[in-house]
């Protein structure tokens, strides 16, 4: 099947896609500027667009599922111990958004009893809407995604993202070895390199400074495209995840050997 069968779409996925669409209208309207920016306690920026997008997403989701929990980047957690917990980053890539880079997205995921089961990643300015649901595959603009089968670093294209904490660890020299060996190293960043990975256009993504809201939806998309998604120590993604090693399964174990035990 090369196009998505909407008959197999759950009510949860329909709701997440609706919420992402509403958020896209808001973020597009603010993208060229004319918004306020404040600095949070962690020294990261937040804009009117972030707040309004999250409020809109929250309303769509909780109107449909009032008994569900919600964990948002800007509004925090409600009913965090609920069986179903929505994980939302309304504008992932706010620093770029503030400087009018198009590399931002809306990330919406659903975690059920601790397992990520659904993900929507909307690269608004790229017109790239990716989504996945457990057992239903991963899709980008209605076309099915599949990771590549390249299994050697010297043939692989690898993208890096946030690397600050990796740079301060023993894993930095391991990354250097990989850079020297790989066919191609780029830093596509944010949502975009995960979309490329799921589409088989690159082979791996490495990041060391993330939070679960950045990558929850993308983890489901990559895995449903046939990929493997862990942190740099090989642990499955969870609420405390801070790093990423995502790759096609043919390459993941080789890359993991370089980092496991060397990254905090």
> How does pLDDT run across 5-37, given as a tens digit for each residue?
677 799 999 999 999 999 999 999 998 777 888
pTM (two decimals) = 0.94
What is the three-class DSSP state of 73? coil
Topology adopted by domain 6-144? Fructose-1,6-Bisphosphatase; Chain A, domain 1 (3.30.540)
- Residues 46-90 pLDDT 10s: 889 999 999 999 999 999 999 999 999 998 898 888 999 999 999
Split at pLDDT 50, 70, 90, the class of 2 is: low
Helix (H) or strand (E) holding 60: helix 48-64
For 93-122, how does the pLDDT look when each residue is reduced to its tens digit (9 = 90+)?
Answer: 888 888 888 999 999 999 999 999 999 999
Write down the domain spans for the chain: 6-144, 153-259
Residue 229 vs residues 29, 58, 70, 249: alpha-carbon distances, Å: 33, 27, 23, 9
Residue 188 has pLDDT above 90, yes or no: yes
Query: Phi and psi at residue 62, in whole multiples of 5°?
Result: -75, -25
Distance CA 3, CA 206 (A): 30
Question: Is residue 1 pLDDT above 50, yes or no?
Answer: no
51 contact partners, CB below 8 Å, separation of at least 6: 74, 75, 90
Q: How far apart, in whole angstroms, are the C-alpha atoms of residue 19 and residue 232?
A: 31
DSSP 146-203: -------GGG-EEEE---HHHHTSTHHHHHHHHHHHSSEEE---TTHHHHHHHTTSSS
Strand 184-186 and strand 157-160: the pairing is parallel
**Bridge partners of 106?**
122
Q: How far apart are CA 60 and CA 65, in angstroms?
A: 9
In the three-class reduction of DSSP (H, G, I as helix; E, B as strand; rest coil), residue 96 is classed as helix
Kindly state the tokens that stand for 168: 């301060």
Per-residue pLDDT at 259 exceeds 70: yes
Helix H or strand E encompassing 222: helix 212-224
Architecture of domain 153-259: 3-Layer(aba) Sandwich (3.40)
Measured CA distances, 192 to 5, 26, 107, 116, 126 (Å): 25, 20, 12, 20, 9
């Amino acid at each position: 099947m090369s196009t998505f069968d909407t008959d197999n779409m759950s009510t949860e996925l329909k709701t997440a896609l609706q919420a992402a669409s509403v958020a896209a209208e808001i973020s597009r309207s603010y993208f060229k500027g004319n918004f306020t920016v404040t600095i949070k306690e962690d020294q990261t920026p937040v804009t009117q667009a972030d707040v309004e997008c999250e409020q809109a997403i929250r309303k769509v989701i909780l109107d449909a599922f009032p008994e569900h929990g919600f964990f948002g980047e800007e509004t925090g957690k409600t009913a965090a111990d609920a069986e179903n917990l929505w994980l939302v980053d309304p504008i992932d890539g706010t620093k770029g958004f503030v400087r009018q880079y198009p590399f931002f997205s809306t990330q919406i995921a659903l975690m059920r009893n601790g397992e990520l089961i659904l993900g929507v990643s909307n690269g608004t300015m790229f017109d790239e809407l990716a989504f996945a649901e457990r057992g239903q595959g991963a899709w980008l603009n209605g076309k099915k995604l599949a990771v590549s089968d390249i299994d050697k670093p010297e043939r692989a294209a690898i993208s890096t993202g946030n690397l600050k904490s990796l740079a301060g660890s023993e894993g930095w020299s391991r990354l250097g070895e990989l850079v020297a060996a790989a066919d191609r190293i780029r830093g596509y960043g944010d949502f975009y390199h995960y979309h490329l990975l799921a589409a088989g256009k690159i082979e791996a993504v490495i990041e060391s400074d993330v939070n679960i809201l950045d990558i929850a939806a993308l983890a489901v998309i990559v895995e449903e495209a046939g990929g493997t998604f862990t942190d740099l120590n090989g642990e499955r993604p969870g609420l405390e995840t801070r790093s990423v090693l995502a790759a096609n399964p043919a390459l993941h174990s080789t890359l993991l050997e370089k980092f496991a035990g060397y990254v905090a």
